[in-house]
């Protein structure tokens, strides 16, 4: 993960067993996302969800920064487009929301600082593990940009009203210990080797759990956080799980004192 690619490219997909890794790959420009990268990410998300062998996704970056966010020139150009003005949300917002709603559990491996829109991209992952030297910065207020509503909702539901206000309205950087304190980081580690160890351990745990049950519970948690819980569908998934194959294997494995094989 630490070796920077010689040439920039759209996001790169690597598959290793049950784990998929998407790596942002424009290190010379601090992995700043371009419009083509957004299309590539959507295609990769579709590919991951279409492969039942993939049980967990890790999102990370090449080089010393996770991502400097979405290219500001592209934001300005899209803002003047009639298509953009009439759409339900920006192309970037579509990508972030799609990531949040992926069926597989997701881990953001924060290999460095995270800035602008990429703070929301990371927040859309289920878990975030970062280095103690990292930092984050949401500059919307300094740029005169009113952030899109789903991003504000994500910040507020995951970090709380006061922390969302501090990050959006002051536009001040915070360091990794503060990111951990407010819940932006799930875990903080001291060096890159420890980062890989922590991500590998969590990915292995997630990949070993029941995929259908996890997918349903993740969906319910996300819907509840947005105030949009489909209670009937959640109840139906819970009932179905009681007579599904996963629970049979889970109970059998527990009785036999062995890891389940889902």
What's the rounded Cα separation, in Å, for the pair 152 and 133?
Answer: 26
pLDDT of 16 above 80: yes
Does 142 share its domain with 243? no
Does 150 share its domain with 244? no
Tell me how many domains the chain contains: 2
Q: Going along the chain, which residue ranges are E strands?
A: 9-16, 19-25, 56-61, 65-67, 106-110, 113-115, 127-131, 135-137, 174-175, 187-189
Does 203 share its domain with 217? no
Does 104 share its domain with 56? yes
Does 64 share its domain with 188? yes
- Which residues 6+ apart lie within 8 Å of 78 measured at CB? 84, 90, 91
Over residues 77-105, the pLDDT tens digits come to 655 554 544 443 489 999 999 999 999 99
Task: Judge whether 206 and 55 are in contact, CB under 8 Å.
Answer: yes
- Percent of the chain past pLDDT 70, that is, above it, reads 91
Question: What would the two tokens of residue 233 be?
Answer: 């569908």
Over residues 129-187, the pLDDT tens digits come to 999 999 999 999 999 999 999 999 999 999 999 999 999 999 999 999 999 999 999 99
**pLDDT at 72 (0 to 100):** 72
Q: 78 by DSSP, 3-state: which?
A: helix
Task: Judge whether 151 and 120 are in contact, CB under 8 Å.
Answer: yes
Mean pLDDT score across all residues of the chain? 93
**Residue 4 falls within a domain, yes or no?**
no
Q: Domain residues for 185?
A: 9-207
Over residues 162-172, the pLDDT tens digits come to 999 999 999 99
Which of 91, 104, 99, 70 shows the shortest CA–CA distance to 209?
104
Does 110 share its domain with 190? yes
Over residues 34-57, the pLDDT tens digits come to 999 999 999 999 999 999 999 999
Does 201 share its domain with 220? no
What's the rounded Cα separation, in Å, for the pair 195 and 132?
Answer: 10
Residue with the two structure tokens 């009113």: 146
- Percent of the chain past pLDDT 90, that is, above it, reads 90
Over residues 183-196, the pLDDT tens digits come to 999 999 999 999 99
pLDDT of 125 above 80: yes
Final residue in a domain of this structure, among 207, 223, 238: 207
Task: Judge whether 1 and 109 are in contact, CB under 8 Å.
Answer: yes
- Which residues 6+ apart lie within 8 Å of 31 measured at CB? 24, 25, 61, 62, 63, 65, 66, 67, 68, 118
What is the mean pLDDT of the segment spanning 221-228? 96
pTM as predicted? 0.92
Question: What would the two tokens of residue 121 be?
Answer: 């991209």
Q: Per-residue confidence at 71, pLDDT binned at 50, 70, 90?
A: confident
**pLDDT at 139 (0 to 100):** 97
Dihedral sign of CA atoms 125, 155, 138, 173 in order: negative
Residue 27 is part of a domain; what is its CATH number?
Answer: 3.90.226.10
**pLDDT at 87 (0 to 100):** 45
Helix (H) and strand (E) counts for the chain?
A: 13, 10
Final residue in a domain of this structure, among 207, 230, 246: 207
Does 171 share its domain with 235? no
**Residue 1 falls within a domain, yes or no?**
no
């Amino acid at each position: 993960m630490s070796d920077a690619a010689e040439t920039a490219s759209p996001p790169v997909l690597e598959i290793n067993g049950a784990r998929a890794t998407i790596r942002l790959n424009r290190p010379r420009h601090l992995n700043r996302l371009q419009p083509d990268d957004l299309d590539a990410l959507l295609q990769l998300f579709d590919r991951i969800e279409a492969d039942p062998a993939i049980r967990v996704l890790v999102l990370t970056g090449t080089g010393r920064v996770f991502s400097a966010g979405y290219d500001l020139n592209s934001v300005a150009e899209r803002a003047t487009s009639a298509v953009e003005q009439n759409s339900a949300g920006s192309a970037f917002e579509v990508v972030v929301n799609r990531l949040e709603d992926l069926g597989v559990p997701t881990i953001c491996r924060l290999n460095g600082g995270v800035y602008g829109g990429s703070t929301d991209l990371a927040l859309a992952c289920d878990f975030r593990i970062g280095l103690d030297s990292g930092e984050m910065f949401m500059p919307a207020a300094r740029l005169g940009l009113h952030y899109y509503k789903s991003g504000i909702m994500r910040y507020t539901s995951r970090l709380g009203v006061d922390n969302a206000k501090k990050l959006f309205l002051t536009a001040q950087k915070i360091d990794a210990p503060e990111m951990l304190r407010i819940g932006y980081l799930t875990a903080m580690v001291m060096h890159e080797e420890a980062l890989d160890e922590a991500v590998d351990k969590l990915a292995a745990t997630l990949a070993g759990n029941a995929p259908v049950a996890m997918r349903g519970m993740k969906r319910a948690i996300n819907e509840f956080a947005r105030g949009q819980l489909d209670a009937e569908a959640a109840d139906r998934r819970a009932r179905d799980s009681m007579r599904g194959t996963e629970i049979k294997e889970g109970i059998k494995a527990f009785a036999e004192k062995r890891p389940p094989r889902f």
